[in-house]
Structure 1
Amino acid sequence: MKVVLVEDEIAASEHLTFLLNSINPDIKILRVLDSVKSAIEYFSTSQEAELIFMDIHLADGISFEIFERVQIETPIIFTTAYDQYAIKAFKVNSIDYLLKPIDEDELFGAVQKFKNKPNEEGALNNQIHGMLQLLQSKTKSYKTTYLIHHRDELIPVKTEGIAYFYIDTGVVKAVTTENKTYIVDKKLEDIEEELNPEIFNRVNRQFIIHKNAIENIKQYFNGKLIVNINPVSKERIVVSKAKATSFKKWIDL
């Protein structure tokens, strides 16, 4: 099988190449393209690939921009580190994706899926068009206020004034920019779905933080990051090596 990778992170492309060769030594990597521009140039002249792995966020833009310039009929498996809204779009449009860090078993399943069910002519571009409409739509609404029980009161707390959410011995709490702490009667996973991903980030299993609450980021061992926030958290906030790159991209948006 002839494969093209569209990935701007060297470590990620090398890891994916290793996994592909592990599940099938006959897979041949034709090219590794690291930008929207290089992908447009390549696919404008070559459709030799039988399968494409494409990262969503590239150094010079979003990979969906490629389809506005060139028509690609080759089956594509998208890879993403964090874009929950994009994942919902994939599900609606029946486009396959892999969440980073890529799991070998999930990769094997995705490859088998495309081997057993070839892409129908014209279907991919129709799906991409539908996905672009979803991603570019401004109809997506996010939660702006949490009505929180506090003693014998119900207090409306604006999300813009929340510095971070975290789990404390199984209880979800919200800490405001004024350093007030409230218990939120919801799961952290549900809160993550309700918040604007451009503003809030689920940095690990325990914390969701507001971008404006970040004071600084420090390098930690094995490629991990330490995030210091204001108000100060009692718990150390660690970003894993697998999520470090996407987290830094989120900060830089």
Structure 2
Amino acid sequence: MRVLIIEDEKPAGRHIANLLKRYDASIEVEGALGSVKKSVEWFNSNPHPDLALMDIQLADGLSFEIFENTKVDCPVIFTTAFNEYAIRAFKVNSVDYLLKPIDFEELGTALDKFKKNFRNFDQSKYNLMFDKVMQSLTDQYKQRFVIKVGEHIKSVAVENILYFFSLEKATFIHTSDDHNYVIDYSLEQVESLLDPQRFFRINRKYIVSLPAIDDIITYSNSRLKLELKHLNDPDAIVAREKVNNFKQWLDR
């Protein structure tokens, strides 16, 4: 059996490969591929595997986009850190999943299910299933943030937010009309609520949208400095460990 791993975190990819070999030493492991772009290229130029294990959130988007850009003739087990709402969608649509961190028992159960139920693969039914799950996941991303302005409560749509930033233990949004507002979320919480296609966490202080970026400048220690709209902040720097993923996010 040939199994393709699609996972943008190399340690996680190695961990999955080791678990697969532990389950069945005869399994041929392909990958790991870390992006939607590389995965599409792989499926376009290689014989398709018997099974693919895909992380949902890759460096340049959701793994569901692979199916929008190429034909995938194999069943998929997803690995996910998404919340229970997403997991329920997988259950309803009979798509198996592994909740990170993955352990051997869970992987074994998923592989047993694959052997029992997915030998006769129906591409048309699977495509319909992916459409439903993709819609379910898309609906989860936060669309608006509530802010307080004096004695007034307002709601700001995410498309009007250029970036999020933290300052003195508070989290702010900066809007396209050049205003800052405090929100009742940590930056970590905000990151988990946003569509990764629209926003990128560049460092501990900033989550930015593409329209927020006026310029990108090469910086010391293989980092990148961003010039953001309405802002002159020396801390608007893409952390070195995030530079590759940031470039992939730009190159979609």
TM-score range, shorter chain: 0.5 to 0.7
Q: Which residue of 2 aligns with 1:238?
A: 238
Instruction: Kindly provide the amino acid, as one letter, of the partner of residue 109 in structure 2.
Output: K
Instruction: Kindly provide the amino acid, as one letter, of the partner of residue 93 in structure 1.
Output: F
Counterpart CA distance in 2 for 1:29 and 1:8 is: 16
Counterpart CA distance in 2 for 1:141 and 1:21 is: 32
Q: For 1:1-253, what aligned pairs fall within 5 Å after superposition?
A: 2-5=1-4, 7=6, 12=10, 16-17=13-14, 20-21=17-18, 24=21, 26=25, 28-32=27-31, 35-36=39-40, 38-39=42-43, 42-43=47-48, 49=50, 51-54=51-54, 62-65=65-68, 70=73, 72-73=74-75, 76-78=76-78, 89=86, 91-94=88-91, 95-97=96-98, 106=102, 108=104, 110-115=106-111, 117-122=113-118, 129-135=128-134, 140=139, 146-154=145-153, 157-192=156-191, 195-214=194-213, 215-216=215-216, 218=218, 221=221, 225-230=224-229, 231-233=231-233, 235-239=235-239, 241=241, 243-253=242-252
Instruction: Kindly provide the amino acid, as one letter, of the partner of residue 250 in structure 1.
Output: W
Unaligned runs of 5+ in 1: 100-104
Deviation at 1:133, TM superposition (A): 2.7
Counterpart CA distance in 1 for 2:141 and 2:111 is: 38
Distance 1:189 1:17, change over 3 A: closer
Contact 2:144–2:158 (Cα < 8 Å) also in 1: yes
Contact 2:174–2:181 (Cα < 8 Å) also in 1: yes
Per the normalisation by structure 2, the TM-score is: 0.62
Deviation at 1:42, TM superposition (A): 1.3
Q: Give 3-state SS (helix, strand or coil) of 1:173's partner.
A: strand
Identical-residue share of aligned pairs (%) = 24
Distance 1:224 1:131, change over 3 A: farther
Distance 1:133 1:110, change over 3 A: same
Q: Give 3-state SS (helix, strand or coil) of 1:106's partner.
A: coil
Counterpart CA distance in 2 for 1:240 and 1:212 is: 22
Q: Which moved more, 1:19-28 or 1:144-153?
A: 19-28
Distance 1:132 1:220, change over 3 A: farther
Contact 1:39–1:66 (Cα < 8 Å) also in 2: no
Counterpart CA distance in 1 for 2:247 and 2:176 is: 22
Contact 1:54–1:63 (Cα < 8 Å) also in 2: no
Deviation at 1:68, TM superposition (A): 5.1
Counterpart CA distance in 1 for 2:142 and 2:186 is: 15
Per the normalisation by structure 1, the TM-score is: 0.61
Contact 1:165–1:174 (Cα < 8 Å) also in 2: yes
RMSD after superposition: 4.7
Distance 1:27 1:200, change over 3 A: same
Instruction: Kindly provide the amino acid, as one letter, of the partner of residue 90 in structure 2.
Output: N
Deviation at 1:173, TM superposition (A): 1.0
Instruction: Kindly provide the amino acid, as one letter, of the partner of residue 108 in structure 2.
Output: Q
Q: Which moved more, 1:226-235 or 1:139-148?
A: 139-148
Deviation at 1:154, TM superposition (A): 4.2
Distance 1:106 1:140, change over 3 A: closer
Paired residues in the alignment total 231
Counterpart CA distance in 1 for 2:116 and 2:203 is: 39
Counterpart CA distance in 2 for 1:108 and 1:8 is: 17
**Larger RCO (CA under 8 A, 6+ residues apart):** 2
Distance 1:8 1:52, change over 3 A: closer
Distance 1:8 1:225, change over 3 A: farther
Distance 1:18 1:250, change over 3 A: same
